[in-house]
């Protein structure tokens, strides 16, 4: 076993996945800020939008053992990580936004929020902070998987596989799409797309349950080459027909996310990384969750006020990403100091 594998296990982190999370996080910023001119220029990143699907798959791949073994201490910590920002940040944004709107006649969003908006944010994951539908999804699917694990201890994976087949049928038969199409965009892009992204969490869980990388451990280079080839083929040729959807259309996202996940998981296993470089990578990649939350609010606050953001260029995306990183870093330092005091 090489040095990288030892370090990965001792730190409970996988360098390739840390790097992938950073790429995905910047991809999210690109998706939310980049103007159409540059979207066309960098169309390869938007032909198949794997950023959020990959995040979901990664989350449930690494939470499989915690949920399947009903480790309630770790489950509690997972809910705390998800719920604390989900409950607190909308209140902070509502207060700051409304104070600015009242006193300065200018606010982050250009209008004030009501208490009803706050309740709606909590119920469907959208209204004040749109990107929090991701937290909304993680919270409810984690709860769903925990309940299934408790009720069906021995048949846990079988029930999830059955659930995957059901979601596949609901999407490709247009039942899910037709059911929610008549509702407002808020409902369509939260509850309606729930069924569209559920298979991604199921894919991550099932991959973890079969211990996929133990199967592939002696075929690393061949697997990486094969996965790259398949990913290129998927991007180059439209081999899967598109389905009616609200945001996430079909099995192509699951296949693409699985391939990208496998590639980055395995990439580091044939290379040695010294401790210094390992630490640098960890420091660069450790705030992806904070960046995901902060970038959306920064874009809303600065899109009409700072030219580099208003222009919708790649440089503007880098600017937003870096500011989000440093705000996340400051937030961590402040939370640590609060705990120490």
pLDDT in tens, 176-196: 999 999 988 888 888 888 999
Interatomic CA distance for residues 144 and 149, integer angstroms: 9
In a domain, 8, yes or no: no
d(CA 121, CA 92) in angstroms, rounded, equals 13
According to the model, what pLDDT value does residue 96 have? 86
1 lies in a domain?
no
Domain end marker among 217, 236, 263: 217
pLDDT at 203: 93
Mean pLDDT, residues 137-147: 96
Domain contains 207 = yes
In a domain, 290, yes or no: yes
Q: pLDDT-derived band of residue 42, with 50, 70 and 90 as boundaries?
A: low
Residues 190 and 119 placed together within one structural domain of the fold:
yes
Closest CA to 255 of 203, 329, 328, 312: 203
pLDDT band at 5 (very low <50, low <70, confident <90, very high): very low
Confidence band of 164 (pLDDT split at 50, 70, 90): very high
Same domain? For 99 and 192 the reply is yes
Q: Are residues 179 and 316 in the same domain?
A: no
**Low-confidence winner among 8-12, 58-62, 68-72, 314-318 (lowest mean pLDDT):** 8-12
pTM, to two decimals: 0.86
Residue 45, pLDDT above cutoff 70: no
pLDDT score, position 166: 94
Q: Let me know if residue 256 belongs to a domain.
A: no
- Residue from 198, 305, 289 nearest 247 by CA: 198
Boundary of a domain, candidates 217, 241, 260:
217
pLDDT of residue 57: 95
Considering the domain architecture, whether residues 56 and 30 belong to the same structural domain is answered as no
| Residues 190 and 55 grouped into a single domain | yes
pLDDT band at 12; cut points 50, 70, 90: very low
Q: Residue 268 above 70 pLDDT?
A: no
- As a whole number, mean pLDDT of residues 191-209 equals 92
Predicted pLDDT of residue 253:
85
Number of domains comprising the chain: 2
Give the distance from CA 150 to its chain's centroid.
26
Report if residue 335 sits inside a domain. Answer: yes
pLDDT value for 241: 61
Q: Which residue is it, tokens 């959306």?
A: 296
| Mean pLDDT for the stretch of residues 114-136 | 90
Q: 285 with 336, same domain?
A: yes
34 and 130 together in one domain: no
Distance CA 108, CA 4 (A): 44
Q: Tell me, yes or no, whether 230 lies in a domain.
A: no
> What does each C-alpha distance from 122 to 52, 115, 269 come to in angstroms?
20, 11, 41
Residue 133 has pLDDT above 50, yes or no: yes
Query: Which of 182, 217, 252 represents a domain boundary (last residue)?
Result: 217
Domain assignment of residue 184, given as a range:
51-217
Q: Say what the pLDDT of residue 6 is.
A: 33
Q: How far, in Å, are 1, 8, 23, 264 from residue 4 at the CA level?
A: 8, 6, 20, 14
Residues 18 and 97 in one domain: no
179 and 68 together in one domain = yes
Count of C-beta atoms within a 10 Å radius of residue 69: 12
Mean pLDDT of the chain: 83
pLDDT given for residue 8 in this prediction: 37
Q: Are residues 154 and 111 in the same domain?
A: yes
User: Does residue 61 share a domain with residue 165?
Assistant: yes
Q: Are residues 280 and 153 in the same domain?
A: no
Two tokens at 134? 């991701």
pLDDT of residue 338: 47
Asked whether residue 333 is domain-assigned, the answer is: yes
Higher pLDDT, 4 or 38: 38
């Amino acid at each position: 076993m090489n040095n990288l594998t030892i370090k990965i296990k001792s730190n409970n982190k996988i360098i390739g996945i840390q790097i992938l999370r950073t790429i995905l996080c910047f991809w999210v910023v690109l998706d939310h800020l980049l103007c159409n001119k540059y979207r066309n220029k960098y169309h390869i990143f938007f032909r198949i939008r794997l950023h959020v699907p990959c995040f979901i798959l990664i989350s449930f791949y690494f939470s499989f053992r915690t949920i399947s073994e009903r480790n309630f201490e770790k489950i509690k910590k997972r809910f705390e990580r998800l719920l604390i920002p989900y409950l607190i940040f909308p209140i902070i944004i509502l207060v700051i936004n409304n104070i600015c709107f009242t006193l300065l006649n200018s606010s982050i969003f250009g209008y004030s929020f009501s208490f009803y908006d706050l309740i709606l944010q909590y119920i469907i994951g959208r209204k004040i902070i749109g990107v929090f539908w991701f937290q909304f999804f993680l919270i409810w699917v984690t709860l769903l998987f925990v309940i299934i694990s408790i009720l069906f201890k021995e048949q846990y994976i079988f029930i999830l596989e059955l659930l995957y087949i059901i979601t596949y049928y609901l999407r490709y038969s247009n039942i899910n799409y037709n059911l929610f199409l008549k509702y407002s965009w808020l409902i369509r892009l939260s509850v309606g797309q729930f069924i569209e992204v559920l298979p991604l969490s199921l894919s991550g869980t099932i991959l973890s349950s079969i211990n996929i990388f133990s199967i592939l451990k002696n075929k690393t280079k061949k697997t990486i080459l094969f996965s790259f080839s398949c990913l290129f083929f998927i991007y180059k040729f439209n081999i899967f027909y598109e389905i009616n959807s609200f945001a996430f259309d079909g099995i192509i996202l699951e296949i693409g996310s699985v391939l990208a996940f496998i590639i980055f998981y395995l990439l580091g296993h044939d290379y040695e990384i010294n401790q210094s470089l390992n630490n640098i990578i960890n420091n660069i990649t450790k705030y992806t969750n904070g960046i995901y939350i902060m970038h959306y609010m920064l874009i809303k606050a600065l899109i009409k006020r700072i030219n580099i953001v208003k222009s919708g260029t790649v440089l503007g995306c880098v600017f937003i990403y870096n500011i989000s990183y440093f705000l996340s870093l400051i937030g961590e330092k402040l939370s640590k100091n609060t705990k120490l005091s």
